[in-house]
Amino acid sequence: MKILISAYACEPRQGSEPGVGWNFVREISKYHQIWVLTSNCHRPAIEAELVRNSQPNLNFVYLDPFGLIIDWSQKGKFTQKWVYIHYYLWQIKAYFIGRSLHHKIGFDLVHHVTYVKYTSPSFLCLLPIPFVWGPVGGGELTPKNFWTSLNFRSKVYEFIRNTACFIGECDPFVRLTAQRSILAWATTEDTVKRLQYLGAKNVQIYSQLGISPEELASFTDKAPSHQSIIRFISVGRLLHWKGFHLGLLAFAKANICNSEYWVVGEGSARKHLEKITQELGIDQKVKFWSSLSRDETISKIRDSQVLVHPSLHDSGGLVCLEAMSVGLPVICLNLGGPALQVTEETGFKIPANTPEQAVQDIAQAMMSLVADPKLRLRMGEAGKKRVKDVFNWEFKGLFMSQCYAEVCI
């Protein structure tokens, strides 16, 4: 088939949304002819990759509104403030370019892949062909009982985020996107409910995340280091909703001898997290690594024994799959995307009833994994198998191709 794909974020050898976009289109192109609409900021990396590895069924069309290119990966506040406005305008231009391409090529189907934000519309749904939406996420909210653990600034953030979701759901084009979708994938059960509320009729849960066979091979070609020190690690942007404060509180409560806690990432909550470690008297056992490249981050994960990812609302959580690929058990809250990735065989899913209960249960999980090396090994092996069997991009590409065939019948 001839497929038109909207992938605002799409870049090889990256994690997060650009990696999602690239792996989606690469795998689907094994079965169909693909035209990809994406932003010019990804053009150098894409063209360099196509020189190294030709993809004959992949055709890229680069566009940006008013010729304004914004690199989403930049960390400046200006970029983060304006990127979603740029994205909205990009979607409008993508429709007109997509319509022109459809007149010339005659697509069988159009699929919006990235961004995976359910409160932003895809105007490509207006094309007179079947429209597939997602996987999209963002319907997850911080549990009300956990607001008490947040400072004033964090509460303001959550209020603004919830308000933005409400405003997005009121956008008639968002509702039209949902209603015109022949198939909508949601990353979590929370987002399923929001899509159904918006009028999507055929909604299924399907993770947007995966690990490529090449990544699996590179992640596991070296065995994790075995040291006398048990090292816990958390990876991600240092923002309140990532829940790293819960991990640090649990680490202090567990009070495990010969242990360390590594925190990889950067963000506005760093000073608060550093203050917590000092107040708890664990600052000598906690190491903040700031932002690292993906290869460096994987190296740090490989040098650890347990991933702690107590996120309060996370549609994805790619680091959980990366840690499982390396053979680490995962401790997460039973919320959002991580809760769908992690099973009882691969880690601990902590109920999110109250902050105090969560901290106590995370601490208990830490102590259980330290006390039982065989349990760590068993969960690590189960995690590698689960990623290979369920989150392998090759399998995901085949699955999506089969879905395309079904919706185009």
pLDDT at residue number 173: 97
Give pLDDT tens digits for 36-81. Answer: 999 999 999 999 999 999 999 999 999 999 888 887 556 454 456 6
pLDDT at residue number 340: 94
Whats the size of the chain, residue-wise?
Answer: 409
Instruction: Give the residue ranges of the chain where pLDDT is below 70.
Output: 72-81, 220-227
Judge contact between 314 and 140, C-beta under 8 A: yes
The beta strand positions in 316-386, using DSSP E, are 330-333, 347-350
Q: Are residues 270 and 175 in the same domain?
A: no
Judge contact between 368 and 331, C-beta under 8 A: no
Judge contact between 343 and 336, C-beta under 8 A: no
Dihedrals phi, psi of 244, to nearest 5 degrees: -65, -25
**C-alpha–C-alpha distance, residues 211 and 23, integer Å:** 9
Instruction: Provide CB contacts within 8 A for 326, sequence distance 6+.
Output: 219, 220, 224, 298, 301, 302, 380, 384
Instruction: Please state whether the predicted TM-score (pTM) of the whole model is above 0.75.
Output: yes
pLDDT at residue number 222: 45
pLDDT at residue number 223: 53
Token reading at 236: 């991600």
Sheet with 33-38, edge to edge strand ranges? 58-62, 33-38, 2-7, 109-114, 131-136, 181-186, 203-205
Q: Are residues 33 and 178 in the same domain?
A: yes
CATH number of residue 283's parent domain? 3.40.50.2000
**C-alpha–C-alpha distance, residues 92 and 95, integer Å:** 5
Judge contact between 395 and 209, C-beta under 8 A: no
Structural element, H or E, at residue 9 = none
Q: Are residues 268 and 342 in the same domain?
A: yes
Q: Are residues 330 and 272 in the same domain?
A: yes
> Within 13 A of 161's CA, how many CA atoms are on the CB side?
15
Amino acid type, 380: G
Q: Are residues 157 and 68 in the same domain?
A: yes
Give pLDDT tens digits for 75-97. Answer: 454 456 688 889 999 999 999 99
Q: Are residues 155 and 255 in the same domain?
A: no
Q: Which of 311, 321, 322 is nearest to 343 (CA)?
A: 321
Q: Name the residue range of residue 252's domain.
A: 213-390
Q: Which of 290, 324, 39, 287 is nearest to 209 (CA)?
A: 324
Q: Are residues 274 and 149 in the same domain?
A: no
Q: Are residues 73 and 161 in the same domain?
A: yes
Q: Are residues 370 and 329 in the same domain?
A: yes
Q: How many CB atoms lie within 10 A of CB 171?
A: 15
Q: Are residues 199 and 221 in the same domain?
A: no
DSSP-assigned beta bridge partners for residue 117: 137
Burial of 206 (0-12, 13-18, 19+ CB in 10 A): middle
What letter would DSSP give residue 32?
A: S
**C-alpha–C-alpha distance, residues 176 and 322, integer Å:** 36
Q: Are residues 254 and 192 in the same domain?
A: no
Number of domains in the chain: 2
Sheet with 259-264, edge to edge strand ranges? 286-288, 259-264, 230-235, 306-309, 330-333, 347-350
Q: Residue 356 in 3-state DSSP?
A: helix
pLDDT at residue number 290: 86
Q: Are residues 181 and 244 in the same domain?
A: no
Alpha helices in 70-146 (DSSP H): 77-105
pLDDT at residue number 14: 84
Q: How many CB atoms lie within 10 A of CB 166?
A: 10
